[in-house]
Each structure stands twice: as structure tokens, then as C-alpha cells.
Amino acid sequence: MLTVYYLSSQVWQLFKYNMTLHRSTFNFKGQKAVYHGKVRDVYYFDDFVAMVVSDRISAFDHILPRPIPFKGQVLNQIALHFLNATRSNVPNWLLGSPDPNVSIGLKCEPVKIEMVVRGYLAGHAWRTYQRGGRVLCGIELPEGLSANDKLPEPIITPTTKADAGHDEDISAEEILTRKIVSQEVWKQMCGYALSLFETGQQMAHERGLILVDTKYEFGIHEGDLKLIDEIHTPDSSRYYYLEGYEEHQKRGEPQRQLSKEFVREWLMDRGFQGREGETMPEMPDEFVQEVSERYIELYRLITGEKFIPADQEQIESRILHNVNEYLESI
């Protein structure tokens, strides 16, 4: 059974919609521009960026109408955990974190490719396979696989990074033909992605989890390739419990997992996959609370640390103060 971090009813009432960070509209000292993404709002300065991680949640490339309490803090702090742990693998953008919901780092030119690394047949890859597809992003998948089976070796199935709408699968050949990146940069991205995935799997295994698949994003800073954005969070990754994995596979049962996939499944059960003409279902309080608790549980499991909720009562004032104070110190 899933062990969850339950919020008391009193605390739960405190952290309802108006005490979450739904959309940020900050005006930090020295900022030049801002980009509002699905979940993260990126504030640009001359030489660096401030990434504010909101409590928004997205699925099927749509932002769901209700934010999730503590989600932004969980995502930011898990990302910090892994960015700091993998610096010896790959150079990354991170400079510091002045607030539980904020990371500040180097200003990089993003590469318009998401590096999706898969160690198991799950999610989009399984849905493609189930429909009869045996080639994904130019990679041939073996016959006879079942849902959640471990692949012979991790594969990279990149997608285009869309500014709006759906990301699309793309092969390595197409990336090079369209000259999205050079062959040298592509080779470096692949090496970095596989190294990060190997480390992520090792760290997950130590915590009794399986890192099933994930995505990485890269950018160029002064001619050098750097890892940017978040890594190994439940928004960008899928985790299974290590205990019981083999037994569930032998019996053909679904795997116990900690990821955002259960949100997608909840939406699909209610007839929504982000397609034209579909209506997004309302998220009741009970489901919002369950999502929050699952995010917090993953934080505890993957980091081995107790989650300490930040003060949410004046969340926007808190972030503004903390970031501006940090900016004055650098």
C-alpha cells in the first residue's frame, strides 16, 4: 500500500487554492523578461535566470485548472537534490536556490530537443507498442514485450520541444538532417543523458525504487553544453517500487508507481486525453489532496529526507523577498 504524508484537515484548509502558487507575476530587481511555461515561470536577467516552480500541474500538454499544494516546492527540491548529486557527471546550470520554490542558474540557449531516456516499456512507449508500433524515434523495439518490461538496454527517444501544443517524437536522423544540433553536440547530449540516467537508476535503487524513464533538457552557455531545467522529479520521470516488481510482471499486474502517470490515468478514465472536443474533468478536493500527498511521498522516498512544508500563507511575498535578497548578494 502507498504510504502517504497526510495533511491534517486544519492544515489542508489553510493550503487550499488561494494559498498555492498558481501563476507568478513577479517584478524582480533587474529582470529583463519572463516566460510562463506549463509549470515553471522563467525570469530572465542579463547573465542568469530565476526559475519559479509553481503549483500548477499539466497532463497531455494541458494545464489542469487546480494547483496542487506543495507541488512546486517538492519539484524544486527534488531537482536540487539530483542537480547537486550529478555535477560530476554533467555540468549544469544551477547556481543557487534562495527559496523553496526557486532555483537560479546560468542563462543558457535551450536546445529545442527533449532527451527522453527509457529503461522500461511504459507510458507513451507502451501505448505505441500496444497499437502495433515496433519503431519509436527510429529505434526498433523487440517483439514479445509486455507492459512495464525492462528493455534490453536504455534507449533515447527524443521529442521536439514545442513552445505551445504537443511535443512530437523525432529520430536522431531527423535531428541531424534538420540541423537542430550538430553531430558533435548530439553525441555529447546522448552521452550525458545516458550517464545521468545510469546515476538516477542507481540512486533510485538505493531508495527501493526503479527509475523507469525520464527526460533531460540541455542548453548552450558560452559554447559549452549544460544540463538545464529539472531532473528526476515526478513531473519528468516515472518511478516504480522495486519490491514486488518481478512478481507483478510475472502475474501481468500493473506496477505500483510514483509518478504523474496516475493523473493521466485519472483523466483518461474520465474521457480526457487532451484531444480536440474533449472536456477536462473537474478535480475534486479529495483528488487534489491525493496528488499532493503522492508528490510529498516521492520526495521522502527519493531523497530519504523528511519533507518540511514552507510557509504558504504569504507565498508570493516570501518568494519576492527571498529572490531580491539573493540578487543583491551576487
Model-level pTM?
A: 0.88
Query: What integer pLDDT is reported at residue 165 of this predicted model?
Result: 53
Query: What integer pLDDT is reported at residue 13 of this predicted model?
Result: 54
- Counted residue by residue, the chain has a size of 330
Q: At what angle do helices 285-303 and 71-85 cross, to 10 degrees?
A: 20
pLDDT in tens, 113-136: 999 999 999 999 999 999 999 999
| Element housing 106 (H / E) | strand 102-106
209-221 and 237-241 strand pairing: antiparallel
Residues in the chain with pLDDT values less than 50: 1-6, 8, 10-11, 14, 17
Query: Residue 150: is it exposed, middle or buried by C-beta count within 10 angstroms (0-12/13-18/19+)?
Result: middle
Q: Side chain identity at 99, as an amino acid letter?
A: D
Task: Report which of 69, 66, 64, 29 is spatially closest to residue 50, judged by C-alpha positions.
Answer: 29
Q: Side chain identity at 45, as an amino acid letter?
A: F
Query: What integer pLDDT is reported at residue 231 of this predicted model?
Result: 95
Query: What integer pLDDT is reported at residue 307 of this predicted model?
Result: 94
Catalogue all structural domains in the chain, each as residue range(s) with its CATH number. 9-329 (3.30.470.20)
254 phi and psi, to 5 degrees? -60, 150
The span from the CA of 7 to the CA of 291, in Å, is 12
Q: What is the dihedral of CA 80, 81, 87, 90, to 10 degrees?
A: -80
